[in-house]
Structure 1
């Protein structure tokens, strides 16, 4: 089963544009592939957008109080774990 929508062709600069109804669920910037199957038959398919990459080059200098870590600061030590404590009760084996 397919839904039918009306769309209007209009002039935009030196090109023609197709105004699509909001009910199609498209958003501004969506890209479509249009395939002409016959003289008056067109098929439109949405093109998946590539994932956007964030440009962090403009962030340099925004937080001058942050300094790079030294190699010694990057090493993680053995953090104490609760189950290493002699007072630890294993809840899986203790029915109470």
Structure 2
């Protein structure tokens, strides 16, 4: 069940204001969206825009390194033994004890 708070509307300059209780956990300066639906007022926080990463400063870092895309010929991998390729290990994992 949600908490219920009482607050009074007061005059602030040429506007009306509603003081919200600190117990709501809102931060000072938080932007809120207010709408009326069927005679009731709904107040909810505005979603913050997603942060964008500014690549301007790091975009040119690789230019002086003369980096080039990897060619298919350069994509050669050395084969190395893997644990799941070992038949004894597979048998020990799949073997169930009663």
TM-score, normalised with respect to structure 1: 0.55
For 1:21 and 1:11, how far apart are their aligned partners in 2?
Answer: 17
| SS of 2:9 mapped into structure 1 | strand
Q: Structure 2: state its 5+ residue gaps.
A: 90-98
Q: How many residues are matched?
A: 83
For 1:20 and 1:45, how far apart are their aligned partners in 2?
Answer: 11
8 Å Cα contact 1:8-1:20 kept in structure 2? no
Higher relative contact order (CA 8 A, sep 6+): 1
TM-score, normalised with respect to structure 2: 0.54
1:4-43 equivalences in 2 (<5 Å): 4-27=4-27, 28-35=29-36, 37-38=38-39, 42-43=40-41
Is residue 93 of structure 1 aligned with residue 85 of structure 2?
yes
For 2:75 and 2:8, how far apart are their aligned partners in 1?
Answer: 66
Alpha-carbon spacing, 1:29–1:74, altered in 2? closer, same or farther (3 Å): farther
Indicate the RMSD between aligned Cα atoms, in angstroms.
3.5
Bigger helix fraction: 2
